[in-house]
Structure 1
Amino acid sequence: MATTDRTNRIFTNMPEDWYEYEVTAVSDRFGESAPSKVEYTLGHPTVQSPELKLLSFDEQTATLNWTEITGASAYNVYEVVGEEYVLLGTTEKRNYIITDIADGKHEYVVTVTHSRFGDSGYSNAVAVEMQNDLTPPVTSSNAVTDWINKDFDVILTAEDDKSGVDKTFYSFNGVDFLEGADFTVSGSQKISFYSTDLAGNVEEVQTAQVNIDKTAPETSSNANSNWHQEFTVQLKAEDEQSGVNQTFYSVNGSEFTEGDIVLVNEEGINTVSFYSTDVAGNIEEAKTVEVKIDRTAPETVSNADGEWHTEFALEFTATDDKAGVETTYYSVNGAPFKEGAAIAITEDGVNTIEFYSVDGAGNTEAVKTAEVNIDRSAPETVSNVDGEWHQEFTVELTATDDKSAVAKTFYSANGSEFAEGSSFTVDQDGINEISFYSVNKAGGTEEVKTAEVKIDRSAPVTESNESADWLKEAVVELTATDDKSGVDKTFYSVNGSVFVGGSTVVITEAGVNEVSYYSIDKVGNKEEVKTIQVNIDGIAPETVSNADSEWHKEFMVELTATDEHSGVATTFYSVNGSEFVEGTSFAVTEEGINTISFYSVDKAGNIEEAKTAEVKIDRTAPETLSNIEDKWLQGEFGVELTATDEHSGVAKTFYSVDGSEFTEGTSFSVSKEGVHEIAFYSTDAAGNKEEVKTAQVKIDKTAPVLSWNLEDEVALGSELAISYEASDALSGIASEKLTVNGEEVANGDLVSFDQPGVYKIQVSVTDQAGWTSTLEETITVFIPLNDFKVMPGVIKGNSGVFSIQVGLPKGFSTKDFDLETVTINGVSAISGKNGFEQQAKQGHFRFNREDFKWIDGTQLLEFRGMVGDYLVIGQATVETKASKK
């Protein structure tokens, strides 16, 4: 441990080892800081490799040249032959001539032998090719035509199979070409580029377009505040650059679904959220609207009681708990509906009143019926027999009577005895004859009526043109018959699929196919399912891969092929458009989205259609940024971390505050006063981990400390040093301002008080975090007396008065004295109508002796009074004698 007042420290004679040092700062006021740390390893230096270049090349001779390496004792020249390094020679110079170079491509490197530290590694390689080169290089770019939503790193790749690429140039919009093979494009640009080779050939300029859109779409809706039975929300998205890609919506917090038309029919107030994405991948912030749905009709009741009346005042009461009742309608005995909530019923007989209501959303209540009985006669019975065929049929007999009402209804089936009842079931196969009539309460008997009920309880019979032979394809014909109600539909299923209607089945699927079928007649009798077998062959193999939708650092693709009949012979694959090769297992390591294609061939020669799959490779860690700025803050700060990943996408973000354990999250607050070290990093879906980044959040919640010590009153003509003390323990003082009556002065400046009156002194101090402290005081500048005479010269403590005579400095007059303000030691002067006002204008004032407490000796008298708006102060010493009393 050592202490110094400097900012550096030198250590000597250090052996090879690993070292760690910590440094703290010590303040007389604020103590010792947290330590900073540095670590390093001390060892022998590595001998630097030289930078090799081809100085000249002429026919069969090449001259190599390299950079000088300090301390080099020799340079070794090698030719790279396959994987071997063949020594051509050693020299102390910085160049070497190679002669008699054979046709073909040659590659050379150089190493350094150092006098102290041994040999260096190999230099960069220089290639020489013995042939004429008249063909320029070919340059390609990684630019894509698709829209993207972030800056794009353009990489230019130049190739030259003879002399080799020399330089690559690029430009934006065809002007101001710059040398380089990689650069970043921030907005949509047309880029131009070309390369030159070492033989001087210049490539024709090529172009590519990079389309960048960083602005999300804007989506609007047609939603309104009205109530609806259902409402189709129409979403309209606009994007000025790459164009809208997808629109998504969510109803009442459901998962977002793609679409721009949303049918909302859930009753109540529905919340519809929506947003859009563009072709570049920008995602709009979700918006919400409310859609009010009322699908429940009003509920209407009447006061009808079912009794008989001579006349009746019918009233309707409707309620609706959402959109509210709009209108109520009624119809009497089938007449057109009218609007209204009350009607008088007078028509003779049983009056049928239909009524319903409509709410504000347009929901129409199902028509309700009430009967108001006024009078009627003789029953009338009708049946629900319809003349159609049925498996069985429940006959419903309905009898009506206009006045006294129906008493009983009777029926007979196929000539049986009549029985009482209005509902009975007929299930005898064939055509059944039923008879029926009713009797009213007055004894009137209806004429017997008849009807036929048709019953069919037998299922159809279906036959097929079944064949046991193997076929390339087969057409199965199904024929059904039914001798009563007739065949309604025939259904079939192939290999256990869902049954579908039809009587002709085309079979092409390879293998042994099962065809099941049955028929239903017109009354619903269902035939037992029958099954036949149809044998078909002629389908290629089926190949699947283990490729998934996840991102990986690398991925081993496994292909599995199956063939139900002849069996798989061979499987082939291709990666990113390469030539197809045979195999079922291969590794994919190229970063990005790789497209693999594959297919199989069976032993019968059937060739599968090529399939494709994507293998996503991501070998690059995410990039995380924060909203932290290098400035002092007044209070709590919400840290926002934003991570991006070009390929697999960000998985998680972690942060640490002041060395704490890392916590997952992208948003947190820092509120404690002081300087906080924030560390953060992210991982992506492929498992790549970013290097930890750091930033500082500086918080100062305390305003500066400000103090001073000023006098309240000073004499006219005085000079005072106006000074104050200001300090701030954290962010430090940023600005200070001291004013006297609004005029700015420096701290400690002498201020001349050359005018009487009240002076306003104000100081404001602001720290780096923006906190401001302010002090404000007033100083009264008084006029000092230049003459103060007390009469008599010796004041005795008895009754009576004593007088004083005062004089003012030049420029001020005693005639401006306000007598009511004049005091001696706080005792007011005598005033009244005895000429005291006139005496005051002469500077003469009188006081009652008994108002003072006198002592033997001398006594200090202080005079105070106002001349106009200004204070006057003076002091004098008087000889006094106490009263003998």
Structure 2
Amino acid sequence: MNMAERKKVMSVLFAIMIAVIVIPSVSMGLDDTTPPTISNVHWQPQYPNDESGIIISATVTDASGVASVKLFYCYQGGCHPPLTMQGSGSTYSKRIGPFDEGLLEFYISATDTVGNEGSTGEYSIFIDGTNPNVEVTFPNGGEYLSGETTLTWYLNDNNDPSPDVTIHYSSDGGTTWELVDEVSGGTSYLWNTSSLEDGENYLIKITAEDRAGNTAADESNAPFTVDNTPPTTNIIFDGEKNGEWFVSNVTVSFSAMDTASGVNITRYRMDNGTWQHYTDPFVISTEGEHTISYYSIDNAGNEENEHTASLHINKNAPTLVVNTPQKGYVYIAGRPVMKTLLGTIIIVGAITIEAAVTDEVSGVNKTEFYV
């Protein structure tokens, strides 16, 4: 027997049961033919689960007074005997359940003191005993995060299109958890990690709760790294040096460090040329002044500020040409007077030595003469 058929049968039974009330009332001259008014039908919780008892209530009023209020219900197609609803003023209620997951159908019937009967339409309640299905998809282990990043997860529920979601993070591998935010539904969230300490033991946990109170949670399968600190890069020059100048070829190398996510790449350029990826040390052999710009990027995408270093190379000694005295002459009082036979220089008296010294790279620092 379905709900509609049961309702018809129960109405007939109630008509017979109250006949003893109707006949005396008519003989007494009462003319109330209006059935009770049933309104404000509701139930709590609004979305019950398989652990919830359900309180069904309604407001019932009648001019001649309410004699009885009955609750008729069927669960998963099986109908149960009517239950008397308890009244407090004009409010009548009845607690039923809990029930396993399934469909509960009910209606309310009321009879007044002169036998008039009224009933509501049918109501349906779905008892939800299934937890949401939630799964973290990013970050799920091994990623490097920096600044703002989008968290993503899979979420599905059999009876709630938009379960509530609570997001937590752990910086110690799941020992403790901190709240990120609470959102209604959705499968992504923009998370700003800028205020977090660098670390490699972070986890994300997503907890979903449907409107029936069923919950489920999932967290990252493995730790991920949060890194908001750029790398540090040092430049190394290797060559023979004299003062501020290198007097040999110079080997250039870079040493970059990043304690959180590690260094991804180091880039450099020489004398404002094209940027290149650094892989191995390289040699500068061209004399002159050179400027090298460089920086590194870590695995989380943090980019170091550009640095600049200069070096000077001069591998050749200055050029010196003695103009006075010249080989093969005899000088008297500083003046050449005759040639010598063996190409030697003979100086008699005082002489001013004159020489031209040039260095096109670094310039001449000093010139010394020895006799």
Do Structure 1 and Structure 2 share a fold, with TM-score over 0.5? Answer: yes
| Residues 1:273 and 2:205 are matched in the alignment | yes
Aligned partners of 2:267, 2:69: CA distance in 1, in Å? 90
Shift of residue 332, structure 1, vs aligned partner: 0.8
Cα contact 2:45–2:54 (8 A) shared by 1: no
Task: Give the one of 278, 291, 308 matched to 1:352.
Answer: 291
Shift of residue 296, structure 1, vs aligned partner: 3.0
Which runs of 4 or more aligned residues in structure 1 lie more than 6 Å from their structure 2 counterparts after TM superposition?
53-56
Task: Give the one of 125, 136, 139 matched to 2:35.
Answer: 136
Equivalent AA in structure 1 for residue 206 of structure 2: F
Where 2:122 maps in the other structure, the secondary structure is strand
Task: Give the one of 148, 151, 154 matched to 2:53.
Answer: 151
Cross-structure match for 2:9 = none
Deviations 1:14-41 (A, max 9, x none): xxxxxxxxxxxxxxxxxxxxxxxxxxxx
Cross-structure match for 1:118 = none
Cα contact 2:205–2:220 (8 A) shared by 1: yes
Change (3 A) 1:163 1:373: closer
Cα contact 2:288–2:362 (8 A) shared by 1: no
Deviations 1:74-103 (A, max 9, x none): xxxxxxxxxxxxxxxxxxxxxxxxxxxxxx
Task: Give the one of 301, 304, 312 matched to 2:234.
Answer: 301
Cross-structure match for 2:6 = none
Cross-structure match for 1:219 = 134
Cross-structure match for 2:369 = none
Aligned partners of 2:25, 2:140: CA distance in 1, in Å? 84
Task: Give the one of 86, 106, 125 matched to 1:210.
Answer: 125
| Residues 1:247 and 2:169 are matched in the alignment | no
Change (3 A) 1:178 1:227: closer
Aligned partners of 1:232, 1:323: CA distance in 2, in Å? 18
Shift of residue 307, structure 1, vs aligned partner: 2.4
| Residues 1:334 and 2:272 are matched in the alignment | yes
Cross-structure match for 1:57 = 24
Change (3 A) 1:220 1:159: same
Aligned partners of 1:171, 1:240: CA distance in 2, in Å? 24
Shift of residue 327, structure 1, vs aligned partner: 3.2
Change (3 A) 1:342 1:288: closer
Where 1:355 maps in the other structure, the secondary structure is strand
Shift of residue 177, structure 1, vs aligned partner: 7.1
Cα contact 1:326–1:357 (8 A) shared by 2: yes
Shift of residue 242, structure 1, vs aligned partner: 3.0
Where 1:296 maps in the other structure, the secondary structure is coil
Aligned partners of 2:108, 2:211: CA distance in 1, in Å? 27
- Structure 2 unpaired stretches of 5+: 1-19, 86-93, 171-176, 315-359, 367-371
Cross-structure match for 2:156 = 238
Equivalent AA in structure 1 for residue 235 of structure 2: S
Equivalent AA in structure 2 for residue 168 of structure 1: K
Deviations 1:719-774 (A, max 9, x none): xxxxxxxxxxxxxxxxxxxxxxxxxxxxxxxxxxxxxxxxxxxxxxxxxxxxxxxx
Shift of residue 143, structure 1, vs aligned partner: 2.5
* Superposition pairs of residues 41-56 of structure 1, within 5 angstroms: none
Cα contact 1:163–1:197 (8 A) shared by 2: yes
Where 1:244 maps in the other structure, the secondary structure is coil
Where 1:302 maps in the other structure, the secondary structure is strand
Change (3 A) 1:147 1:293: same
Cross-structure match for 1:161 = 63
Cα contact 1:217–1:284 (8 A) shared by 2: yes
Task: Give the one of 335, 355, 368 matched to 2:307.
Answer: 368
Aligned partners of 2:59, 2:71: CA distance in 1, in Å? 11
* Superposition pairs of residues 282-681 of structure 1, within 5 angstroms: 282-285=214-217, 287-288=219-220, 290-304=223-237, 307-310=244-247, 311-340=249-278, 341-374=280-313, 404=362
Shift of residue 172, structure 1, vs aligned partner: 2.7
Aligned partners of 1:55, 1:195: CA distance in 2, in Å? 15
- Structure 1 unpaired stretches of 5+: 1-52, 62-129, 376-401, 406-439, 443-885
Shift of residue 58, structure 1, vs aligned partner: 6.0
Change (3 A) 1:131 1:441: farther
Shift of residue 205, structure 1, vs aligned partner: 4.1
Change (3 A) 1:184 1:312: same
Equivalent AA in structure 2 for residue 246 of structure 1: D
* Superposition pairs of residues 1-150 of structure 1, within 5 angstroms: 57=24, 130-140=29-39, 141-143=41-43, 146-149=46-49, 150=52
Higher helix share: 2
Higher strand share: 1
Cross-structure match for 1:171 = 73
Cα contact 2:206–2:218 (8 A) shared by 1: yes
Cross-structure match for 1:191 = 106
Deviations 1:44-82 (A, max 9, x none): xxxxxxxxx979726666xxxxxxxxxxxxxxxxxxxxx
Aligned partners of 2:68, 2:168: CA distance in 1, in Å? 57
Shift of residue 373, structure 1, vs aligned partner: 0.7
**RMSD of aligned residue pairs (Cα, Å):** 3.6
Shift of residue 179, structure 1, vs aligned partner: 2.7
* Superposition pairs of residues 724-763 of structure 1, within 5 angstroms: none
Change (3 A) 1:151 1:275: same
Cα contact 1:228–1:294 (8 A) shared by 2: yes
The TM-score with structure 2 as length reference comes to 0.58
Change (3 A) 1:164 1:325: closer
Shift of residue 250, structure 1, vs aligned partner: 2.0
Change (3 A) 1:132 1:172: same
Cross-structure match for 1:653 = none
Deviations 1:132-156 (A, max 9, x none): 1211222343336932342212235
Aligned partners of 1:225, 1:288: CA distance in 2, in Å? 6
Shift of residue 351, structure 1, vs aligned partner: 0.3
Change (3 A) 1:281 1:183: closer
Change (3 A) 1:196 1:294: same
Cα contact 2:71–2:106 (8 A) shared by 1: no
Where 2:209 maps in the other structure, the secondary structure is strand
Cα contact 1:158–1:168 (8 A) shared by 2: no
Equivalent AA in structure 1 for residue 82 of structure 2: E
Aligned partners of 1:60, 1:224: CA distance in 2, in Å? 81
Where 2:43 maps in the other structure, the secondary structure is coil
Change (3 A) 1:254 1:313: same
Where 1:147 maps in the other structure, the secondary structure is coil
Deviations 1:481-507 (A, max 9, x none): xxxxxxxxxxxxxxxxxxxxxxxxxxx
Aligned partners of 1:216, 1:148: CA distance in 2, in Å? 13
Change (3 A) 1:246 1:318: same
Cα contact 2:60–2:66 (8 A) shared by 1: no
Deviations 1:642-667 (A, max 9, x none): xxxxxxxxxxxxxxxxxxxxxxxxxx
Aligned partners of 2:288, 2:155: CA distance in 1, in Å? 64
Aligned partners of 2:21, 2:256: CA distance in 1, in Å? 102
Equivalent AA in structure 2 for residue 279 of structure 1: R
Aligned partners of 1:287, 1:224: CA distance in 2, in Å? 8
Q: With a CA cutoff of 8 Å and minimum separation of 6, indicate the structure with the bigger relative contact order.
A: 2
Cα contact 1:348–1:374 (8 A) shared by 2: yes
Q: How many aligned residue pairs are there?
A: 262
Aligned partners of 2:123, 2:22: CA distance in 1, in Å? 35
Cα contact 1:295–1:363 (8 A) shared by 2: yes
The TM-score with structure 1 as length reference comes to 0.27
| Residues 1:258 and 2:174 are matched in the alignment | no
